[in-house]
Amino acid sequence: MQVTTNHPLLVKIEQLREQMSEAALENGFSSEKTVKLSQELDELLILIQSHDV
């Protein structure tokens, strides 16, 4: 799978990164919201890495 910079997965990854950063600043790094967003981000990163991006 060829992934471009505007690929939907990369867009979603960037959105989650921003949401996670905001959640960490507002609620702390170990808050439930921050951890949940981090886990979602991890799943997408693993998915995209498995496609040799």
Supply the pLDDT for residue 4. 63
Question: Does residue 39 lie within any of the structural domains?
Answer: yes
Contact 9, 44 (CB under 8 A): yes
Supply the pLDDT for residue 7. 84
Structural domain count of the chain: 1
Question: Does residue 18 lie within any of the structural domains?
Answer: yes
Question: Does residue 12 lie within any of the structural domains?
Answer: yes
Supply the pLDDT for residue 50. 87
Tens digit of pLDDT per residue, the chain (53 long)? 555 677 899 999 999 999 999 999 999 999 999 999 999 999 999 999 887 55
52 dihedral zone (left: phi>0; alpha: psi -120 to 50; beta): left
pTM greater than 0.85 (yes/no)? no
Domain coverage including residue 36: 8-49
Cα 14 from Cα 20, distance rounded (Å): 10
Question: Does residue 40 lie within any of the structural domains?
Answer: yes
Question: Does residue 23 lie within any of the structural domains?
Answer: yes
Supply the pLDDT for residue 6. 79
